[in-house]
Amino acid sequence: MEPRVDVITLAVADLERALVFYRDGLGLATRGIVGTEWKGDDDNAAGTVVFFELAGGLMLALYPDLAKDANISAPPASGAFSLGYLVSSRNEVDALLARAEAAGATLTESPRERPWGIYSGYFRDPDDHLWEVIWNARAG
Amino acid sequence: MEPRVDVITLAVADLERALVFYRDGLGLATRGIVGTEWKGDDDNAAGTVVFFELAGGLMLALYPDLAKDANISAPPASGAFSLGYLVSSRNEVDALLARAEAAGATLTESPRERPWGIYSGYFRDPDDHLWEVIWNARAG
């Protein structure tokens, strides 16, 4: 694993409220709410999200459906979050999740395609912190 | 507020276990456990911590005493974390905390000096996510 975090995803109960807090309250620039074309269904979380591009290529995401996407139980406004780590192939997603599991992590969600074009899975570290390992097929 | 996150701090119940997971399990390089000279007392959290230097100047910290330092209640292995934001003066710490509070955040810990030479305070965003605003007096 390279020493990187690519995405910090914050679970939010009310996306509009969170957007107003970070954009208007703290002054972070954003394109606003995107991904509304992915409505979610029984199998898939919705894709609606807010992104802030941070220094160094880091992304901050506000995401109402993190708990469903990660297959964790978390009440709204729980402070749940995930750290996202990008890799460059499907095999690398599988390999890193396997490595994490071998090291004592728990897989909450086996890797799979998501409607918005990524392949990802989630693990929890021994203290319950959530990581998503992501291959963005569209980025090659 | 500039679009930056400088530190990702993960609360851990067992620092040695977390170190083994991230260093040996996932392969991230670190100097190991540092800050043991700050033992903590009734008023101050202990300073014992593990840092990983990530790409882009980002730091990942494993910190057993986050709950005490942030003045929050959190069980061990709760997934509690904070995002750290560095500023260049004491006044900027106070100003950003005031701005966050005005925008709807809750201050969990008023800004104050910490034994390891920083001045910082914490707020929670409307979804309970914790931020620490930090001035490192030693860095000027």
Mean pLDDT of B100-104: 95
Which pLDDT does position A77 carry in this prediction?
A: 58
Which pLDDT does position B128 carry in this prediction?
A: 87
pLDDT at residue B112 above 60?
Answer: yes
pTM for the predicted model, two decimal places = 0.90
> Among B15, B129, B133, which would you mutate to test the A interface (most chain A Cβ atoms within 10 Å of its Cβ)?
B129
Domains of chain B (ranges, CATH numbers): 7-139 (3.10.180.10)
Residues 6+ away with beta carbon under 8 Å from B54:
A3, A4, A5, B60
Q: Does B60 touch chain A (CB under 8 A)?
A: yes
* Shortest Cα–Cα distance, B80 to chain A (Å): 7
Would the CB atoms of B22 and A125 count as touching at under 8 Å? yes
Which pLDDT does position A43 carry in this prediction?
A: 84
Would the CB atoms of A128 and B78 count as touching at under 8 Å? yes
CA atoms within 13 A on the CB side of A77: 9
Q: What is the ipTM of this complex?
A: 0.89
Q: Does A4 touch chain B (CB under 8 A)?
A: yes
Residue B140 CB coordination number (10 Å)? 7
- Rounded CA gap, B97 and B88, in Å? 14
